[in-house]
Amino acid sequence: MMARTLLAASTLSLPHVNYTAIMPELIALGGSLLLLAVAAVTPRRLPTTVYAAMTSGIGIASLVASLVLYHDVRQGGAFVAIAHSIDVDGFSVLVMTLASCVLILTPMLAAGFFEREGLGGCEYYALACISVGGAMLMGAANDLVLIFLALEVLSIPLYVMAGLDYRREGSGEAALKYFLLGAFSSAIFVYGIALVYGATGSTNLGEIAAFLAHNVLVANGVLYGGMALLIVGFGFKVAAVPFHMWTPDVYQGSPTPAVGFMASIAKVGGFAAFLRVFISTLPTLSQTWKPVLWVIVIITVLLGAIAALVQRDVKRMLAYSSINHAGFILLGLQAATAKGATGSLYYLFAYSLLILGSFGVIAVVGGRGDTGHSIERYRGLARRSPLLAGAFALLLLAQAGAPFTTGFFAKLYVVEAAVAAHSYALAAVAMVSAAIAAFFYLRVVFVMFADTRLAEAPAGDAALVQAAGAPAVSAVGASGSGVFEPAVAGGGGVLLAEAPVRLEEETATPEASATGEEIRDGAVSAWTWSGLILTVGATVVFGIWPQPLVDFAQHAHLLF
């Protein structure tokens, strides 16, 4: 029987490969090879900003390819490609677009850090490209085995990234912890795939959905077991309680730009596949998995918010806050409706940009050696560098869900989806956790702006600087909106890279006068500013005018 099976396999013809369908992935993965090749053939080590510029360029190229694909899907409808293993639908295109945006912003927020730390080289950027390619593939994969491969392509570079700052002990420890728990979760995940395969006879998501729609399993213990293991595997990746233990340690120990990147891209990829597998492939079993996710959502939002309250380390605090966010994104998944999926996607979009920007600021404030992450270091930051503190305050308020930011609409949509699915208790608990979370976000803002107990400056001086800080914040927002609007409307990627740098120079004059001690606005690199202007700008612009992003998310129909 075995010989016959193998013989039958050998006569199969190779599938037609539609390269446009996977162009964004190819650009991202090819980009990493390009970076490595450039680093290998240049006789002298190039400055880190060159690699950063190249990576942003690769991100822009993959963004353009994603938007082309989006246009194709809008015109010709969704389709499957490459032997039914790749889905090209509104959902996967949105994930690709989001991952491309992350790839554009990541090098901007990291270049200054690596320059300061003297950690030159192309490794971080090449790893980021690979990881982004994996995340895109997770959104597009229509086969459990491909999802597993994409998950590994996404995760393995992140393990290396966590240990990139090899001189610092915590970095190596973070890499070890992330690697051991990540590999553990991958093993659980792949065993879950094996069990689902055994129960349904296929690893293809479409075939699994069709099988489950037409058959009633008499003894479905294997299927339920497989599904439970898939939830555990995904839960580890997206840091849902009780599979979150690695998150605070890894976030605290890893180099800060790597944390921002892994916090955004791991959730993008993890939730993309999570949503596709559970909402579009296993809807027939939703009566079984919804109660499980119900419990997970409740403990995730509550533990994330409460544990963040007691942290003194800003990186650990944001780690728990990202657990809280994961709970909110799961809220949309738990609703198990198209509306819920849309809400989750919107939340992912908002969250990724917010967390990237936040860790961009933390990377600057952390100072040389990447160790100054105690909340004490933020005391009176607004006096020393009003622009930086203003940007951080805005990003934190958006994470708390303040109105006129993307964070507000993100929370609104997932809670709305939960209410529409009659999960009233869940929606209520989530809102309570948001209120708890607002407390620790506001505490950091308060420490930065109002708390000047340790500062020697006379009260009048502090008040003066605070007054100066307010227009600075609006200046960041205004310049951000000026850049981002035409760039988004026209779909022109080149604008994204060049315009912010010019604007940064314009705003550089007032900030130079407000300099103080160690961290000064003037000392922050132009790369960081452009990244911050883009993230803060997007947060404010789409917070005031959310329609384009909502439309985009609403067209993200899953294929099946």
130 lines the binding site for another protein (CB under 8 A): no
**Measured between alpha carbons, how far is 515 from 168 in angstroms, rounded to an integer?**
30
5 binds another protein (CB under 8 A): yes
Q: How far is the CB of 255 from another protein (least distance, A)?
A: 13
In total, the chain counts a number of residues equal to 560
Among 15, 47, 198, 221, binds another protein (CB under 8 A): 198
Q: Minimal distance in Å, beta carbon 281 to another protein?
A: 16
CB 108 → another protein: shortest distance, Å? Answer: 27
**Cα four-point dihedral sign 502, 484, 343, 272:** negative
412: CB partners within 8 A, 6+ apart: none
Contact 98, 265 (CB under 8 A): no
- Written as six digits, the tokens of 140 are 């597009």
Q: Whose Cβ is closer to another protein: residue 371's or residue 474's?
A: 371
* DSSP state letter for 201: S
Whether 114 and 257 have beta carbons less than 8 Å apart is answered as: yes
Q: For residues 560 and 288, give the distance between their C-alpha atoms in angstroms, rounded to a whole number.
A: 20
Residue bearing tokens 């960081």: 528
| Nearest Cα residue to 395 out of 554, 208, 218, 260 | 260
- Kindly state whether residue 262 participates in binding another protein, applying the rule CB under 8 A: no
**Which C-beta is closer to another protein: that of 159 or that of 413?**
159
Q: Which of 189, 94, 199 is nearest to 147 (CA)?
A: 189
Q: Is the distance from CB of 153 to CB of 134 less than 8 angstroms?
A: yes
CA-based Rg of the chain, rounded to a whole angstrom? 23
- Residue 153 Cβ vs another protein, minimum distance, rounded to whole Å: 9
Report, in Å, the least distance between residue 33 CB and another protein.
Answer: 16
Contact 99, 143 (CB under 8 A): no
State the minimum distance, in angstroms, from the CB of residue 311 to another protein.
6
Our CB check for another protein shows the closer of 177 and 267 to be: 177
Residue 149 is a binding residue for another protein (CB under 8 A): yes
Our CB check for another protein shows the closer of 145 and 508 to be 145
Residues 6+ apart with CB under 8 A from 485: 541
Cα–Cα distance between 444 and 100 in angstroms, integer? 30
Is the peptide bond preceding residue 242 cis, with omega within 30 degrees of 0?
yes
The residue type of 315 is K
| CB closer to another protein out of 49 and 171 | 171
Tokens of 210: 């069709």
Taking the complex as a whole, how short is the minimal distance between the CB of residue 84 and another protein, in angstroms?
Answer: 12
Q: Return the number of the residue (34 or 156) whose C-beta is nearest another protein.
A: 156
Q: Which residue lies nearer to another protein by CB, 151 or 393?
A: 151
Q: Which residue has the tokens 């690699």?
A: 51
Closest CA to 125 of 152, 90, 164: 164
Going by C-alpha positions, the residue among 497, 529, 500, 129 that lies closest to residue 357 is 529
Interface with another protein, residue 313, by CB under 8 A: yes
Binding segment for another protein (CB under 8 A), chosen from 58-66, 108-116, 245-253, 327-335, is 245-253
Query: Which span (130-138, 199-207, 415-423, 491-499) binds another protein, by CB under 8 A?
Result: 199-207
Applying CB under 8 A, does 211 fall inside the site for another protein? no
Joined tokens for residue 254: 């890893």
Tell me if 9 contacts another protein by CB under 8 A: yes
Q: Does residue 274 belong to the site contacting another protein (CB under 8 A)?
A: no
- Per-residue contact string for residues 156-195; x = within reach of another protein by CB under 8 A: x--xx--x--x--xx-xxxxxx-xx--xx-xxx-xx-xxx
User: Could you tell me if 495 and 413 are in contact, meaning their C-beta atoms sit under 8 angstroms apart?
Assistant: no
Q: Minimum Å distance from CB 319 to another protein?
A: 10
Question: In this chain, which stretch among 82-90, 142-150, 392-400, 496-504 interacts with another protein, using CB under 8 A?
Answer: 142-150
Q: Is 13 in the site for another protein (CB under 8 A)?
A: no
Segment near another protein (CB under 8 A), from 24-32, 154-162, 420-428, 527-535?
Answer: 154-162
Taking CA atoms, 372 is separated from 262, 363, 383, in Å, by 20, 9, 18
**Contact between residue 433 and residue 305 where contact means Cβ atoms under 8 Å apart:** yes
Minimum CB distance to another protein, residue 159 (Å): 6
**Residue count, binding to another protein (CB under 8 A):** 49
Residue 358 Cβ vs another protein, minimum distance, rounded to whole Å: 18
Q: Does 203 bind another protein (CB under 8 A)?
A: yes
What does the alpha-carbon distance between residue 518 and residue 468 come to, in Å, rounded to a whole number? Answer: 19
Task: Look at residue 313 and give its three-state secondary structure.
Answer: strand
Preceding amide of 458 cis, omega within 30: no
What is the helix (H) or strand (E) element at residue 86, kind and residue range?
Answer: strand 86-88
Q: Residue 196 CB, nearest distance to another protein (Å)?
A: 10
Beta bridge partners of 204: 143
> Is 197 an interacting residue with respect to another protein (CB under 8 A)?
yes
Q: For residue 75, what is the DSSP state?
A: H
* Residue 489 found at the interface with another protein (CB under 8 A): no
Nearer to another protein, 68 or 190 (CB): 190
> Is 148 near another protein (CB under 8 A)?
yes
Reduced to 3 states (helix: H, G, I; strand: E, B; else coil), residue 422 is coil
Query: Counting runs of H as helices and runs of E as strands, what totals does the chain give?
Result: 22, 2
Q: Shortest Cβ distance from residue 215 to another protein (Å)?
A: 14
Which of 90, 253, 340, 477 is in the footprint of another protein by CB under 8 A?
Answer: 253
Q: Does 375 bind another protein (CB under 8 A)?
A: no
> Closer CB to another protein, residue 5 or residue 513?
5
Which residue in the set 237, 244, 316, 325 belongs to the binding site for another protein (CB under 8 A)?
316
CB of 198 vs another protein, minimal distance in Å = 4
Contact positions vs another protein (CB under 8 A) = 1-2, 5-6, 8-9, 145, 148-149, 152, 156, 159-160, 163, 166, 169-170, 172-177, 179-180, 183-184, 186-188, 190-191, 193-195, 197-198, 201-203, 248-250, 252-253, 311-313, 316
